[in-house]
Structure 1
Amino acid sequence: MKIDIAELIIVEGKDDVSALKRAVNADIIITNGLGLTKERLKEIETIAKDRGVIVFTDPDYPGSKIRNILKGRIPNCKHAYLNKSEAINPKTGKYGVEYAKPEAIVRALKNAKATVQDGSENYTLTDLVCWRLAGADSQKRREALCNHLRIGQANAKGLLNKLNAYQIPRAEIECFLAEYERGER
């Protein structure tokens, strides 16, 4: 059974995402190797403030360089490491997170002190329906909430994913919706 990780995990490429998805349930962002853009760095910094990040790069020079860039921008980020023996492709001799077995990935994340969640989501579609953020005449309320939370516009399913991914406190949502109902927002 896969474990749920609270922090955002940063990897180098799409094959790394596939390997992690076989081992854990987590939100994952790609650096595209050393092609880490300023926009992507800002996005990572914003997320790091709210929920933390784990850097999980390949055990090679480019992976180390990416780690150092992120460590300089986000000093409190966590780091998951694989030994080269855990991340080697026996056929090609190349190293990478994408070659690691799920057990090695889970072990590396636990060693990085990843926050393991209980697996239950904070919000369900029922919550959105009760708050009138899904269904008929919900678009304006949803847009107002998305603007207030500064999470970008979304349909009901997208909003549900964002609320759970960003772990926005229920009290903040309910307080905003009460003010919205009274016309204060």
Structure 2
Amino acid sequence: MKIKEVIVVEGKNDTNVLKSYFDCDTIETQGTHLSEMTLKLIEETNKTRGIIIFTDPDSPGEKIRMTINQRINGCKNAFVPKEKSRTSKKVGIEHADKETLETALGQVVTFDKNIQSDLSMNDFFELGLTGAPESKDMRKKLTTKLGIGESNAKTLLNRCRMLELKRQDLETLLER
């Protein structure tokens, strides 16, 4: 499988695994401290080939993803579920199998921070996505259906806004 966009990953192990399964190029962030040089490289690459942010499903990975998405608009994002990318001690892209990686790369989403959405935290309360005992499970169900990675209520609200989802869209997804 040839991937046109350049995939942004955290380290060399991620690169090695992806290159063993796909014909692709990567940019490695070398951890959560993104250098200005790396950010500029990602920004310029996004203008020519496009990028896919494919970081680990953990706090450091989310921090990297958030930093890049805030600086560079229109980035594609791929997500793997934690339960499909972990060993007994670690979680990361390099631990996912080929099928999981293919699925994630086939379901990329593009966030646009310039989108205006009227979705609110109040909608989340009313839909039970926050403030209720089952809220975490409902958010997980929703993020799985959307393919946007597990997240807390605030992050999920921001991602839903950037995807231009409306309350009715969430209601429909939660009913299925």
**Scaled by the length of structure 1, what TM-score is found?**
0.57
- Provide Cα deviations, 1:79-111, integer angstroms capped at 9, x if missing partner: 01000111011xx33100010101111110001
What residue in structure 1 maps to residue 38 of structure 2? 40
Aligned length in residues? 110
Percent sequence identity over aligned pairs: 42
- d(CA) in 1 for partners of 2:98 and 2:21? 5
Query: Are 2:96 and 1:103 equivalent residues in the alignment?
Result: no
Aligned residue number for residue 27 of structure 2: 29
CA distance in 2, matches of 1:56, 1:13: 11
What is the distance in 1 between the residues matched to 2:33 and 2:16?
19
Structure number with greater Rg is 1
Q: Which has the higher contact order (CA 8 A, sep 6+)?
A: 1
Q: Distance in 1 between matches of 2:104 and 2:21?
A: 11
Is 1:50 the counterpart of 2:44? The answer is no
Unaligned runs of 5+ in 1: 115-185
Distance 2:57 2:26 in 1: 18
1:1-185 aligned at under 5 Å gives the runs: 3-89=1-87, 92-112=88-108
TM-score, length basis structure 2: 0.60
Structure 1 residue 73: Cα displacement: 1.3
Letter in 1 for 2:9: V
Alpha-carbon spacing, 1:113–1:25, altered in 2? closer, same or farther (3 Å): farther
Matched residue, 1:182: none
Q: Give the ranges of 4+ consecutive aligned residues of structure 1 lying more than 3 Å apart after TM superposition.
A: none
- C-alpha displacement of 1:49: 0.6
Q: Which runs of 5+ in 2 are unaligned?
A: 111-176
1:46-78 deviation line (CA, Å, top 9, x unaligned):
110111100000000000000000001112000
